[in-house]
Structure 1
């Protein structure tokens, strides 16, 4: 910001011109201070930091974050790059602050995988006035100021020297401040691991980069490692129709909001009248769809899946190896690659000969209520290869379920028993009871869909030996401890994000044909189970014999009568 600096070609720098390094330092301070307001709010809530320790530690962390950010930006602090670069940093900071501050999420690698795999419909649900205000005050107004500043152009060598000085100085500042408060800082990060994911935008960039690298590494051209290639079907009892198992993958459903599991509100009025078995203590593989879905269809269990170095064939592949017909029907953002090698379709894309979807079920943008999954099922099954169909069918229905934050959109206007209902996607501004009402309405609508599905299956016992298994991919936070939605790192996520419902049902005709006793299963409803049991229980239900099958994880095995 001095007079006498010259531009290339001899042009004089305007009075009051800013060096790129000065702009980087100011931006780093803004991002570290106001841009990290969710971090400072969280620090203020910690009981061990009440009193005189908080200001010193917050001061050290703020300037330490600013130092690291300035060092990261230093190599690109050149006149032609600096304003776009800082605008990007401000936008990232504003977005991270909004979602962490509004929903209590953190930006770890799993959350960034969700970002990479999201679709336009999910993005639409997150838009609103609070998001606009966050971007306006944290990014757009600073960007307006930034782009109006004249820039000094000190020349290559002077600019390089200043960038190097800022890089070294920023790291030295951060290291010195951490050293000065190391006892408090290390204890804080060890006891409150969530905080390390809240340092914005640095952690967001790191997590996004890791998620991008991981996603690209799973898109390699080589086929997945084989699993269950020796699969074969056990002999079926003479005169028994082929099995038809409908596996419904729920979305964002909490087990403790199912009245089948003791919840005090009638969220399962239909299923409660049926001879279903509701398992009360089921734990998910992950806290997001991107993490849970591939894991729950793996045959390795959560620990084995986490240690995989390359993709491996999943439950759907093994079922197909056994000669069964497999169909994945989706009403959400896709199967995360699980269904790429089996028959698959979207609920809104009806097969030839199926009656049209009622207009109230689907919007013009293609988003449908879950009842759309049940339309045209006979026609869909008829399109599967006849030889596979004769051996048996596994039909997977992937729900929209209770996908947030727009819970009110997950149930039709005539199926909302709990009122008043929150219609705001900025969940922190909802009345807590209205928020729960909207969520419970989505659970009640899932009950309606599952009840209708049992009716459809009951009417097809002449052609099939039918069964139904429902399990959600993960749970949801509804404002407890100021947490909303889902996706927290697994080790620190509350039980609400991992405790999921699982419900089994089949008619008496199926029990007689297979020997699978629902009464026996009811004796096991309170056992501790997890997504690890899902794949092996499906293999057992379909009587698939393979070396990949683990009988100890088959919840149906002990209840199959000879």
Structure 2
């Protein structure tokens, strides 16, 4: 008889036998046991933002502890049900490790910026370009992610997984899945009186259930394009035509539409902000509307919506995809060009000429404006005449709609959105970990980005003025959404619209029509200045642009044209 018994074997797989606490920790376990342990770890280590939010809402332990227990029950059951689908063999370890890393990263951003991982936020993540992703990286993030992920990854790496026959694993996993679902549903029914009002009044909590919400949201964001491919693109440009003002015109129109990024209306000096963040716009006597609301709280939601003829409600409830404003304007015979200094046009510019102002060629040609893989918005003003000359000349002879998509005030790296000589407010926050900065430094960095947008818009107006001999020119500026700067403990943007704070929805809207476009379309400046407090939304943009470029279409609604009430008969 041997003095030392060999380690037990199942098939060709040897299961080591450790002694002491380390032996207990690294004892061979079945995949289902690993799933249960991993669920418990994620509940304890990767859901602190959820537990803290519940504690803040409940205020007293007697109120919030039942909610925490109830949410933990639901989340735990959901995680076990999800992970039971992966309880097969040691080859599932990379997937389990990936889930831990995702949970750790999401927890960092929820804790740091008070964001939630809903499908629109997941879509933003998937569409983020390398420059935007770099802005979100920091040493603090690395340390926090490692603190959560390393213990679990180490354990998953070391723990032996007991092999199992496929059929036996299948029925055992099925039993675990059914038990988890039954437990979750049963617990939810028992606690519905307690949890239903909470979830109804605080719907963002469902997207804080980490990493269950991340799996759902990323799944929805990833499959949405596949679902959209089955949709037919509904044309709306077929009935578009140029209006009577084009007959015998002496000069074509040139409308510059600047799509801003992350700009708050209440941080524009021309809107009454205590700081003079917009001296250039003020000097050029623009008209600034004070009560504009966005369609969404993130770029992926707002930009396609603001160019749609459907309006927010119709766009969000649509069953098919439709052509947009640029398609209609181009269909009427005008030249259209989209210039992007962001992470893409979100599908708006797919069927019109478009260029990236921050590609490798432009970055190399403009070292003073570009650093790394991103550029200041000024780069979009470079070579504009050549870009317009490259458009079909017969269209340019009728008119041009030029769209510029800013990087604007995109956070959290606000300090990168203004040049060294354009930072009037000091000291500014110079890190992407906003909690490491004093609130005043954060505001300074953000206001510097607004000041640079002001300078950029001033330069754009000057460029338009210099081309008055050739075009009747004008400019509209409208931000896609706002930004939270610590109000209610929130940072950045992307909070679901229904309960997003107003600062993420109240955006600036600026018009400059003094380059001849106002007179050409009969818009009276004095009337506009008396109308700056009228309530407007992104729903108005489609119809306002159609009115300015005098494009007739069945989709045009004069009642939604922000300038219609101040328009008199045009001289043509």
Same fold (TM over 0.5): yes
Go from structure 1 to structure 2 and tell me whether the alpha carbon gap of 1:356 and 1:86 turns closer, same or farther (over 3 Å shift).
Answer: closer
Query: What per-residue deviation string (whole Å, max 9, x for no partner) do you get for residues 203-261 of structure 1?
Result: 111111112221222345x7621013111112336453111000000000001111111
SS of structure 1 residue aligned to 2:274:
coil
Q: Structure 2 matches for 1:367-406, cutoff 5 A?
A: 367-406=374-413
Q: Structure 2 matches for 1:7-18, cutoff 5 A?
A: 7-9=10-12, 13-15=15-17, 16-18=27-29
Deviation, 1:88, is 2.2
SS of structure 2 residue aligned to 1:279:
strand
Following the alignment from structure 2 to structure 1, what is the Cα–Cα distance between the partners of residues 515 and 417?
32
Query: What per-residue deviation string (whole Å, max 9, x for no partner) do you get for residues 391-439 of structure 1?
Result: 1000001111001111100000110001111011112222111111111
Instruction: Show structure 2 runs of 5+ residues with no match.
Output: 1-5, 18-26
Go from structure 1 to structure 2 and tell me whether the alpha carbon gap of 1:551 and 1:5 turns closer, same or farther (over 3 Å shift).
Answer: farther
Following the alignment from structure 2 to structure 1, what is the Cα–Cα distance between the partners of residues 81 and 8?
24
Q: Following superposition, which runs of at least 4 residues in structure 1 exceed 6 angstroms of deviation?
A: none
2:37 aligned to 26, 36, 60, which one?
26
Go from structure 1 to structure 2 and tell me whether the alpha carbon gap of 1:18 and 1:372 turns closer, same or farther (over 3 Å shift).
Answer: same
Q: Which residue of structure 1 lines up, in the alignment, with residue 197 of structure 2?
A: 187
SS of structure 1 residue aligned to 2:169:
helix
2:306 aligned to 279, 296, 301, which one?
296
Following the alignment from structure 2 to structure 1, what is the Cα–Cα distance between the partners of residues 358 and 95?
41
TM-align CA RMSD: 2.1
Q: 1:361 and 2:369 equivalent?
A: yes
- Contact 2:81–2:178, Cα closer than 8 Å, also in 1: yes
Q: Which residue of structure 1 lines up, in the alignment, with residue 341 of structure 2?
A: 331
Instruction: Please identify, of 86-95 and 229-238, the stretch whose mean Cα deviation from structure 2 is larger.
Output: 229-238
Query: What per-residue deviation string (whole Å, max 9, x for no partner) do you get for residues 497-542 of structure 1?
Result: 1111000002264444432222111111101000000011101000
Q: Which residue of structure 1 lines up, in the alignment, with residue 567 of structure 2?
A: 560
SS of structure 2 residue aligned to 1:138:
helix
SS of structure 2 residue aligned to 1:445:
helix
SS of structure 2 residue aligned to 1:558:
helix
2:173 aligned to 142, 163, 166, which one?
163
Deviation, 1:49, is 5.1
Q: 1:228 and 2:237 equivalent?
A: yes
Deviation, 1:20, is 1.4
Q: 1:145 and 2:145 equivalent?
A: no
1:110 aligned to 107, 115, 120, which one?
120
SS of structure 2 residue aligned to 1:359:
coil
Query: What per-residue deviation string (whole Å, max 9, x for no partner) do you get for residues 100-122 of structure 1?
Result: 11111111111111122111111
Q: Structure 2 matches for 1:204-353, cutoff 5 A?
A: 204-219=214-229, 224-235=233-244, 236=246, 238=248, 240-348=250-358
Following the alignment from structure 2 to structure 1, what is the Cα–Cα distance between the partners of residues 475 and 524?
14
Following the alignment from structure 2 to structure 1, what is the Cα–Cα distance between the partners of residues 89 and 11?
12
Instruction: Please identify, of 173-182 and 261-270, the stretch whose mean Cα deviation from structure 2 is larger.
Output: 173-182
Instruction: Please identify, of 174-183 and 498-507, the stretch whose mean Cα deviation from structure 2 is larger.
Output: 174-183
Q: Which residue of structure 2 lines up, in the alignment, with residue 464 of structure 1?
A: 471
Go from structure 1 to structure 2 and tell me whether the alpha carbon gap of 1:372 and 1:508 turns closer, same or farther (over 3 Å shift).
Answer: closer
Q: TM-score if structure 1 supplies the norm length?
A: 0.94
Instruction: Show structure 1 runs of 5+ residues with no match.
Output: none
- Contact 1:61–1:177, Cα closer than 8 Å, also in 2: no
Q: 1:411 and 2:418 equivalent?
A: yes
Go from structure 1 to structure 2 and tell me whether the alpha carbon gap of 1:183 and 1:300 turns closer, same or farther (over 3 Å shift).
Answer: same
- Contact 1:6–1:152, Cα closer than 8 Å, also in 2: no
- Contact 1:298–1:314, Cα closer than 8 Å, also in 2: yes
Q: 1:35 and 2:37 equivalent?
A: no
Following the alignment from structure 1 to structure 2, what is the Cα–Cα distance between the partners of residues 72 and 356?
47
Deviation, 1:180, is 3.8
Q: TM-score if structure 2 supplies the norm length?
A: 0.93
- Contact 2:363–2:370, Cα closer than 8 Å, also in 1: no
Q: Which residue of structure 2 lines up, in the alignment, with residue 490 of structure 1?
A: 497
